[in-house]
Amino acid sequence: MLKLFLWLRYLRKKRIVLLSITAVALSVALLITVASLFNSFIDAFEQSAAETIGDVILAPPIRFEKYQLLIKRLEQISTIEGATATLSAPGLLHFGKGNVRAVVIWGIEPERRAKVTGFKQFLHKQSQLPGEPSLEVAGQPEAIGGFVGIGVVAEPDEKTDEYDFQTAEKLIGQQVVLTTAAVSKTQEHKDTTAQIKRKTIKFTIADIVFTGAYHVDKTFVYLPIEKLQKTLYTNSEEPLADQIQIKLTSESQVDAALAQIRGIWQLFAAEQLGWEPYLINRTAIITSKKMQSPLVAEFRKQMGLLLMIFGVVSFSVILLIFCIFYMIVITRQKDIAIIKSCGGTSSSVGWIFVGFGGCIGIIGSALGAILGYIITKNINTLEEWIRIIFGLKLWKSSVYLFSKIPNEVDWDWALLIVVFAVMAAAIGALAPAIVAAKTRPVEILRYE
Amino acid sequence: MYKIILAIRYLLRRRITYFAVLAVALCVFIVVVVMTVVTGLVGDFKRKSHNFVGDCVVGTESLVGFAYYEDFIKMLEQAHFVEGVSPVIKSYALVSREQTEQNAGLEIMGIDPVRHSGVTGFGKTLYHRKDDVAKAFVPAYDVNLPGCVVGIDLWLIRTGKSGYLYEDTPAEVAFVVSCFPLTAKGAPAKAGAGEVNTKTFYYSDTSHSGLAHVDSSLVYLPFEQAQWLCGMAGPDKRASAIHIKFRPNVKLQVGCERIALLWQRFKQEKAGEKQANLLDIVTVQSWKDYRRASIAAMEKEQTMMTVMFGLVGITTVFVVLVVFYMIVSHKSKDIGILKSIGVSNANIIQLFSGFAILVGLLGSGVGAFAGWLFLLKINRIEDLLFEHFGFQLWDRTIYAIGDIPNQVELKVLAVIIASAIAACLAGAVLPSWRAAKLEPVETLQVSQL
């Protein structure tokens, strides 16, 4: 009770204590914000890969036929929710008047793709409509429809970094020309040579894709897989794909699912494609998370380093608390002497100050956590205000991949930082507490 | 004189001052290390960008290019402030390795290696033909074959800190490069023929510009061949850009302004020509503007880092404030005596401000020295960490970074020390004001002694 009384008294009377609370709060807020933003970015990075290419990717070294049969077999496994095929080719998209963009063409199955990835929600118009996404052009059953990434048709505004969706929307229904090339091997005598033939595809823009991931939005054009295959590989009668993207059920064990997929693939490639073991084993079957893991490891390392640097600088907080507490102990020697003269032990006097340090830590870190939460949650608004006031656009999707700053508070890290802050405050108060504990009432309370 | 004596006395006698010095030193140490590394990385990136681009670029982003570039080059060559000029073709191509079905969409750049090396640092980025740039596109294994130089990350594997696993002689490999030729109106040329312009080039060298995007996506080709591939050859030849190097005494801004004036004059002269409309989309940019998107991002990160350190540095201001507050509280008698013998309020403030400067100087001196010492060994420390724990500050297989930059820039150091002293002065303002306001009659009362 006495401790509580003294803590409250010092909090009210010693306004300098507010400085230590402010310092703790600032450091905690900064560390929580940095950790949360980094972790949100990493989560968004992993999530965006899963939403773009599914949970697992099966990528053989060369194109293969009968992918529909493979998908059928894969979807019979309980751990797999869905699978879809893609066929890719580089190309140039021609909008007319010399407006030519380099793109990557993805032949897709829109309905299946929507089940495997978050594809439907990325479609500007069709995301608001019921039913499955479709590449069909309204009123033109014969026309080839295609989706185009928003970054292919527009650049984000230099100042706001936002796309002009109204202008992009006007392109829906417009016909554009895509130039690509097919590489095919030809046998001449004993030599095998690759021949490249230009292919031109006219398609009507059926919708605009906005994933929020800059490089995806700037790179990809989506066409029906069958049409792309018929254009590129006219000689092939069977449907072709170069990658299968798979979504796992939420309950599935990733390693077990990968083993099952590998088993199915080996059987399929040997039986149906007649592939040699060398080719079968060169097929990459990998989770999208694993694909990103080298970069994610680097991001985590950078986050650790940054937190360490700010942590070291925050060591000043310990020094600050030490100084403030030392000052309190020196100016409150009479209080301490009276407590001791009334029978208070040295340890109880010491604990008053260590506990007070802890209190400062708790109050400071609680305020810091609230501040960190507010900053993290409103980081996009803050960034927008900085742009409006100072004309400085800090976050650009072309640099940091995403259109918006991922802003989820990482509570695990927040808790860890708060615990460290409370401990640091208590440590800062330790030496003054020892000085207080060693105070001799007889010297302090002498009349002279 | 008494101000200096008292300031030194407080510094030596009041051990609590050491904490203020320690706080300042700690902050300065971290800021010196981090800012040196960050500034070094930004500076290195700028230097590499400058080497890649030259001083100024007259060009268009359109893949169609612009005509009459040869006439403009003649004009530039007559300008006394221009040292070198290099026309360039830029486009996208499908590049496939011969005998395989794999193809990739890559950027191509058509250059004359000698001219381009005179304007940019291209020659120095080569490995096999570094000393004989004229032969950059001549494969060592067969001098009669047309060569190509590929971005190093397209060909070689980046290892740890040691760089790349270079080969002694270039491997005999052929790349089939296919472009979609465009007419001057931007329509696909050869529309009826159904074929792309395709040519086989033989690997002759690698180029290591140090710019990750360039080294992982760019293939250099001989200028005329690239021009033909892109459909820019013919009676009205076109180019994508002209890279320019100024004479050493010409300032970048001034040089670019002069080029812009020349360009305006040239455009007016060509106004009636057939392909004059292509000149309207041509811009004149300094290398900084040309690479602005990448450089600005790094500079912004540097700014953000500075702001964050500024926020954390507030704690140091608080530490100084508390320490000075304590000293003023304990030295109220000194202050009373000084004021009683006629020292003014301003002099009392000067005394504590001088003390703050002393704390700032000492703290930043210790911090800067420790930072310098750490930076001196930072690469050695990283090597040891990598040897024993496999830890690298930046994974060199992912990032195009060599050694960690460790050259302390005097300008940066001066700013950091000045900021540390300013922080100390800011922390000392309130206590100094309080000291100046003390009344000698109160502090020197018998009851207070």
Residues A24 and A100 in one domain: no
Q: How far is B356 from chain A (nearest CA, A)?
A: 16
Does residue B408 contact residue B70 with C-beta atoms inside 8 Å? no
Across the interface, whether the CB atoms of A305 and B176 are under 8 A apart is answered no
pLDDT band at residue B447 under the 50/70/90 scheme: low
Q: What is the end-to-end Cα distance of chain A in Å, rounded?
A: 32
Query: What pLDDT band is residue A305 in, cutting at 50, 70 and 90?
Result: confident
User: Mean per-residue pLDDT for B250-274?
Assistant: 93
Q: What is the pLDDT of residue B201?
A: 93
Contact A196 B196 (CB under 8 A): yes
Q: Which pLDDT band, with edges at 50, 70 and 90, does A96 fall under?
A: low
Q: Do B63 and A399 touch (CB under 8 A)?
A: no
Tell me which chain A residues have a C-beta less than 8 angstroms from the C-beta of B329.
Answer: 327, 331
High-pLDDT (> 90) share of chain B, %: 43
The overall average pLDDT reported for chain B is 87
One domain, residues A39 and A65: no
Q: What percent of chain A has pLDDT over 70?
A: 93
| Residue pLDDT, tens place only, B82-109 | 999 999 999 988 888 776 666 778 899 9
User: Do residue B98 and residue A97 have CB atoms under 8 angstroms apart?
Assistant: no
Closest alpha carbon within chain A to B24 = A316
Contact indicator for A204, A146 with CB cutoff of 8 Å: yes
Q: What is the mean pLDDT of residues B375-385?
A: 91
Average pLDDT over residues A348-362: 87
Q: What confidence category does residue B229 fall into, taking pLDDT thresholds of 50, 70 and 90?
A: very high
Neighboring chain A residues of B62 at a CB cutoff of 8 Å: 98-100
Cα end-to-end span (Å), chain B: 26
Closest partner residue to A183 (CB to CB) among B19, B96, B187 is B96
Q: Looking at the 3D structure of chain A, how many domains does it have?
A: 2
CA distance A227 to A202: 11
- The token duo for A210 is 């906005």
Smallest CA–CA separation between A132 and chain B, in Å?
A: 32
Quick check: is A115 in a domain?
A: yes
Same domain assignment for residues A41 and A145? no
Question: Distance between CA atoms of A71 and A57, rounded to whole angstroms?
Answer: 12
Query: Which residue type occupies B95?
Result: V
Q: Are A182 and A303 part of one and the same domain? A: no
A342: Cβ contacts below 8 Å, ≥ 6 apart: none
DSSP class of residue A144 equals P
Q: Dmax of chain B from CA atoms?
A: 109
Instruction: Give A-chain residues touching B315 at CB under 8 angstroms.
Output: 23, 26-27, 313-314, 316-317, 320
- Contacts of A75-78 with CB under 8 Å at 24 or more apart are A77/A257, A77/A260, A77/A261, A77/A264, A78/A249, A78/A252
Tell me which of A152, A196, A325, A400 to substitute to probe the interface with B (most B C-beta atoms closer than 10 Å). Answer: A196
Amino acid B321: pLDDT: 87
User: pLDDT confidence of A376, banded at 50, 70, 90?
Assistant: very high
Q: Is residue A30 pLDDT above 70, yes or no?
A: yes
Q: What DSSP letter does each residue of A43-61 carry, written as one string?
A: HHHHHHHHHHH-SEEEE-S
A310 min Cα distance to partner chain B (Å):
7
| Distance in angstroms (rounded) separating the CA atoms of residues A115 and B214 | 37
| pLDDT tens digits for range A259-284 | 999 999 999 999 999 998 888 988 99
Q: Please report whether residue A55 resides in a domain.
A: no
Give the model's pLDDT for residue B315.
Answer: 79
Compare B304 and A194 and report the one with higher pLDDT.
B304
Whether residues B395 and A294 touch (CB distance < 8 A) is answered with yes
CA geometry: angle A384, A387, A392, nearest 5 deg: 140
Amino acid at B104: A
Q: Which of A30, A192, A200 sits opposite B311 (nearest CB)?
A: A30
pLDDT of residue A401: 76
Angle, CA of A394, A400 and A405, to the nearest 5°: 65
A38 is a domain residue: yes
pLDDT for res B273: 86
Q: Which pLDDT belongs to residue A98?
A: 60
CA separation for the pair B214, A250 (Å, rounded): 40
Tell me the CA distances in angstroms from A333 to A106, A179, A444, A445, B16, one per residue in order.
77, 86, 7, 9, 18
Task: Decide if B312 and A314 are in contact by the 8 Å CB cutoff.
Answer: yes
Distance CA A254, CA A380 (A): 34
The amino acid at residue B18 is Y
* Whether A123 and A146 share a structural domain: yes
pLDDT tens string A109-167:
999 999 998 889 999 989 888 888 888 887 777 788 999 999 888 888 877 888 888 88
A53 domain residue, yes or no: no
Helix (H, G, I), strand (E, B) or coil at A384: helix
Residue A127's alpha-carbon distances to A44, A116, A124, A404, in angstroms, are 20, 15, 6, 19
- Average pLDDT on B421-449 reads 80
Return left, alpha or beta for A359; rule: phi > 0 is left, psi -120 to 50 is alpha, else beta.
alpha
A375 or B438: whose pLDDT is higher?
Answer: A375
**Lowest mean pLDDT across A104-113, A169-178, B122-131:** A169-178
Q: Residue B228's closest CA among B262, B178, B191, B269?
A: B178
Pick the residue with more confidence: A230 or B365?
B365
Q: CB-side exposure of B88: number of CA atoms within 13 Å?
A: 28
CB pairs under 8 A between A and B: 168
Contact A196 B26 (CB under 8 A): no
Domain that includes residue A301, residue range? 2-45+296-444
The alpha-carbon gap from B362 to the nearest alpha carbon of chain A, in Å, equals: 16
The pair of three-digit structure tokens given for residue B176, joined into one six-digit string: 């089939």
Q: Is the pLDDT of residue A2 over 70?
A: no
Quote the mean pLDDT of chain A: 86
Which residue, A319, A24, A19, is CA-closest to B24? A319
Is the ipTM here above 0.85?
Answer: no
Does A90 contact B176 at a Cβ distance shorter than 8 Å? no
Mean pLDDT check: name the lowest of B209-213, B304-308, B397-401.
B397-401
Query: What pLDDT score was predicted for residue A154?
Result: 85
pLDDT per position as a tens digit, B15-73? 778 888 888 998 899 999 989 998 998 899 999 999 999 999 999 988 889 999 999 99
pLDDT of the residue at A295: 85
Residue A312 has pLDDT above 60, yes or no: yes
How much is the pLDDT for B386?
87
DSSP 3-state helix, strand, coil percentages of chain B (rounded to 5)? 55, 15, 30
Percent of chain A residues past pLDDT 90, beyond the cut = 32
Would you say residue A288 lies in a domain? no
| Residues A266, A131 within the same domain | yes
**A97/B186 touch (CB, cutoff 8 Å), yes or no:** yes
Taking the C-alpha atoms of residue B266 and residue A352, their distance in angstroms, rounded to an integer, is: 83
Output the pTM of the full model: 0.79
Task: Give CB contacts under 8 A, 24+ apart, made by A337-340.
Answer: A337/A439, A337/A440, A337/A441, A337/A443, A337/A444, A337/A445, A338/A441, A338/A445, A339/A2, A340/A439, A340/A440, A340/A441
Residues A385-424: b if buried by 16+ CB within 10 A, e if exposed: eebeeeeebbbbbebbbbbebbbebbeebbeebbebbbeb
Domain boundary among A250, A282, A314: A282
Q: What is the pLDDT of residues A378-388, one digit of tens each?
A: 999 999 998 88
Q: What tokens were used for A417?
A: 């930082």
Strands (E), B218-305: 218-222, 238-239, 241-246, 283-286
DSSP state of A402: B
At A446 the pLDDT is 67
CA distance B348 to chain A (A): 22
Chain B residue with the nearest C-alpha to that of A394: B300
Q: Do A100 and B64 touch (CB under 8 A)?
A: yes
Q: Which pLDDT band, with edges at 50, 70 and 90, does A188 fall under? A: low
Residue A23 structure tokens? 């310092």
* Spatial contact of A438 and A335, defined as CB atoms under 8 Å apart: no
Select from A62, A63, A94 the Cβ nearest to the Cβ of B188. A94
Do residue A136 and residue A235 come from a single domain? yes
- Predicted pLDDT of residue B436: 85
- The torsion angle over the Cα atoms of residues A390, A394, A395 and A398, rounded to 10 degrees, is 110
Tokens 């020659």 locate to B123
Q: Do A176 and A225 sit in the same domain of this protein?
A: yes
What distance in Å separates the CA atoms of residue B200 and residue B145, rounded to the nearest whole number? 9
Query: Which band of pLDDT confidence, cut at 50, 70 and 90, is reported for residue B192?
Result: low
**Closest Cβ–Cβ partner in B94, B100, B315 for A316:** B315
Question: Which of A282, A317, A352 finishes a domain?
Answer: A282
Judge if A142 and A19 occupy the same domain: no
In the predicted model, is pLDDT for residue B194 greater than 60? no
- Nearest CA among B276, B273, B196 for reference residue B231: B196
Domain annotation covers residue A56: no
The fraction of chain B above a pLDDT of 70, given in percent, is: 94
From the number of C-beta atoms within 10 Å of its C-beta (0-12, 13-18, 19+), residue A84 rates as: buried
Do residues A70 and A26 share a domain? no
Do the chains contact at B300 and A394, CB–CB below 8 Å? yes
Q: How many other C-beta atoms lie within 10 A of the C-beta of residue A381?
A: 10
Interchain pair A312, B26: CB under 8 A: yes
Domain ranges of chain B: 2-47+295-448, 61-281
Inter-chain touch A316–B26, beta carbons under 8 Å: yes
Of B100, B195, B322, the CB nearest to A323: B322
Give A379: exposed, middle or buried? Use CB within 10 Å, 0-12, 13-18, 19+: buried
* CA-closest candidate to residue B219, choices B154, B165, B172: B154
Identify the CA nearest to B109 among candidates B76, B137, B82. B137
Residue A52 lies in a domain: no
Is residue A187 scored above 60 in pLDDT?
no
Question: What is the C-alpha to C-alpha distance for residues B178 and A181, in angstroms, rounded to an integer?
Answer: 9
Which of the listed residues A282, A310, A333 is the one where a domain comes to its end?
Answer: A282
**pLDDT at residue B193 above 60?**
no
Q: Closest approach of chain A CAs to the CA of B121, in angstroms?
A: 26
Are residues A206 and A337 located together in one domain of the fold? no
A305 and A435 part of one domain: yes
Burial letters A176-198, b for 16+ CB under 10 A, else e? bbbbbbbbbeeeeeeeeebebbb
Q: In this structure, are residues B86 and B112 in contact, taking their beta carbons and an 8 Å threshold?
A: yes
What is the residue whose two structure tokens read 């986050």? A303
Q: Are B63 and B230 in contact, with CB atoms under 8 Å apart?
A: yes
- pLDDT for A300 beyond 80: yes
Judged by CB atoms closer than 8 Å, whether chains meet at B188 and A200 is answered as yes
- The pLDDT of residue B101: 65
- Residues of B in Cβ contact (< 8 Å) with A34: 308
Q: Best residue in A16, A88, A100, A292 to probe B by mutation, most B CBs within 10 Å?
A: A100
Confidence of residue B224 (pLDDT cuts 50, 70, 90): very high
CB contact under 8 A, A99 and B62: yes
User: How do residues B348-363 score in pLDDT, each as one tens digit?
Assistant: 888 888 888 989 999 9
Q: In this complex, do A312 and B194 lie within 8 Å of one another by their Cβ atoms?
A: no
Residue A169: closest CA among A145, A153, A158, A146: A153
The count of C-alpha atoms lying within 13 angstroms of the C-alpha of A437, restricted to the half-sphere facing its C-beta, is: 15
Question: Which helix (H) or strand (E) segment is A179 a member of?
Answer: strand A175-188
Span of A24-38, A87-101, A220-234, B131-145 with lowest mean pLDDT: A87-101
